[in-house]
Structure 1
Amino acid sequence: MATIKQTEGAPAAYPAAPSGLSTAAAALDADMLWQRIEAYIAWRFTSRSIEWIVEGCGEWIPPLAPATIATVEVWQATNAWTTATPDPSPTGGYMLPGDGPYRFSGTVGGGTVPAAVNEAFRRLAEYMAASKRGSPGTTREKVVAGSVMVDKSRSASWAAEAMSNSGAGDLLRNFRRA
């Protein structure tokens, strides 16, 4: 059983940024931060369209949650999609009787954003805001004011490591799988 294609639509809007952000963190593009979080987890909190193409027989569970499947179709030898009605599986997915391929269409997303996800957003936003204070792309910054010198450096990949270094990834661990 393999999901060979996933086509996820863009939501009309992302959830609101949580309260309590610093001025610098609140100034960041909240949609960009939600996109980074959604790329890291299997949960969506605002509704959007979804389509999966699946091959193989056996149990298939939608890889994103919460998912509402509107139609299931199977590709026939007549070179056309035909409506199918697979049996439910005991774990909340579908039992596919043949190799398919199958097309699942519907929506994914909705519900209240859990406190842990809002905290992950806050941590990621604060980390990104603090890291932007230096010049973009720099790895070393030295500031001298009179007899005081501050010399700091950061990895050139600081933005790519933000999910981990901010602590947001630890909070999102339970949301990595549907």
Structure 2
Amino acid sequence: MTDLLQETEATPASYPASPSGLSTPAAALDAEMIWERIEAYTRTRYTAREVVWTVEGGEGENWTPPLSPVASHTAEKWESGAWVSTALPDGPVGLCLPSDGVFKVTAQVGAGDPPRAVSEAFRRLAEYMADDTDRAGVSSYSVNMGGAIQESYQRSAAHAARALQNSGAADLLRPYRRQK
């Protein structure tokens, strides 16, 4: 069994453009912050960046990079206290390890336009996060009309942390979900 020992993902030079149709408050949010949340949840990348994986496995074992699409890759094997260049041929499922050991795979990952479901997830998450003064994430709501109108909301302390799920974005991203 091949084990992923370490993953280091560089920040891309840019992220995809924000989808159209955002409200003014949602469009004012930092789009990079929204994309970072989406990418933390998904395995597909839409802009190029370098990713370095360190994997350990046996001869003939297959390893599939957990992020896609992989545009190109190089590999090194740890031998006698140093990294030595090697080749990882394509296998039936991912890359094939040529021998037992620890390998470092450096890849260029990311390309293409986000599908409509991912753009809609961006929109839902942005609208949810921009809804600071209204009811996004409310766990309790009350109205008191006894003499004077009074309205109050209570939010869970975790409402921002659960924004991906509470906004409905996570449901749209399910086919792209990252498995760890």
Normalised-by-shorter TM-score class: 0.7 to 0.9
**TM-score, normalization: structure 2?**
0.87
Structure 1 residue 125 corresponds to structure 2 residue 116: no
Q: Which runs of 5+ in 1 are unaligned?
A: none
Please say if residues 124 and 169 of structure 2, whose CA atoms lie closer than 8 Å, have aligned partners that are also in contact. yes
CA deviation vs aligned residue, 1:5-25 (integer Å, no higher than 9, x gap) = 111111111111100001111
For 1:68 and 1:102, the matched residues in 2 are separated by: 19
Alpha-carbon offset, residue 76 of structure 1: 1.1
3-state DSSP class of the match of 2:44?
Answer: coil
Structure 1 residue 114 corresponds to structure 2 residue 115: yes
Map of 2:84 onto structure 1: 82
**TM-score, normalization: structure 1?**
0.88
Map of 2:31 onto structure 1: 30
Please say if residues 73 and 83 of structure 1, whose CA atoms lie closer than 8 Å, have aligned partners that are also in contact. yes
Letter in 2 for 1:62: P
Alpha-carbon offset, residue 177 of structure 1: 3.8
Alpha-carbon offset, residue 99 of structure 1: 2.8
3-state DSSP class of the match of 2:83?
Answer: strand
Please say if residues 41 and 178 of structure 2, whose CA atoms lie closer than 8 Å, have aligned partners that are also in contact. no
Please say if residues 41 and 172 of structure 1, whose CA atoms lie closer than 8 Å, have aligned partners that are also in contact. yes
For 1:103 and 1:81, the matched residues in 2 are separated by: 8
Letter in 1 for 2:24: T
3-state DSSP class of the match of 1:174?
Answer: helix
Consecutive aligned runs of 4 or more in structure 1 exceeding 6 Å deviation? 138-146
Q: CA RMSD in A?
A: 2.2
For 1:70 and 1:62, the matched residues in 2 are separated by: 10
Q: Which runs of 5+ in 2 are unaligned?
A: none
For 1:35 and 1:143, the matched residues in 2 are separated by: 37
For 2:45 and 2:109, the matched residues in 1 are separated by: 7
For 1:140 and 1:156, the matched residues in 2 are separated by: 12
Please say if residues 62 and 92 of structure 2, whose CA atoms lie closer than 8 Å, have aligned partners that are also in contact. no
Structure 1 residue 72 corresponds to structure 2 residue 62: no
Letter in 1 for 2:162: E
CA distance change for structure 1 residues 48 and 69 in 2, over 3 Å: closer, same or farther?
Answer: same
Please say if residues 8 and 51 of structure 1, whose CA atoms lie closer than 8 Å, have aligned partners that are also in contact. yes
State the percentage of identical aligned residues.
Answer: 49
Alpha-carbon offset, residue 143 of structure 1: 8.3
